[in-house]
Amino acid sequence: MTMEKVLQKQWEECNKKLYKAIIFKDFQEAFTFMVRVAFVAEKNNHHPKWTNEWNKVEIWLSTHDAGDIVTEKDLKLAKEIDKLLGIPE
């Protein structure tokens, strides 16, 4: 995956959720990224709400058990997703 071609917005808090939209070169790069995130999410037992349309992936993070708000679990997963994108801490 060629991350230098990825355009991303910083995480923003919107409606009590962390949100990020990521545009990839094509569908294959977007889907490959989603598979990588799926392994990280499963390891953390914390799963995102997300959508994919061709080269665009949108992610919303919140903790359902805490009343569907942003918690430390969401911030941790957001950092791990950023690492997959090559974004330094």
pLDDT in tens, 4-41: 566 677 899 999 999 999 999 999 999 999 999 999 99
**Alpha-carbon dihedral angle through residues 61, 66, 71, 77, given to the nearest 10 degrees:** -40
The tally of CA atoms less than 13 A away on the side-chain side of residue 9 is 13
pLDDT category of residue 88 using cuts at 50, 70 and 90:
confident
> For position 89, what pLDDT does the model report?
74
Please tell me the pTM assigned to this model: 0.88
Beta bridge partners, 19, equal 12, 60
Q: Note whether 60 and 18 are within 8 A (CB).
A: yes
> What's the pLDDT score for residue 87?
85
On whether the CB atoms of residues 77 and 46 are closer than 8 A, the answer is yes
Average model confidence (pLDDT) across the chain: 91
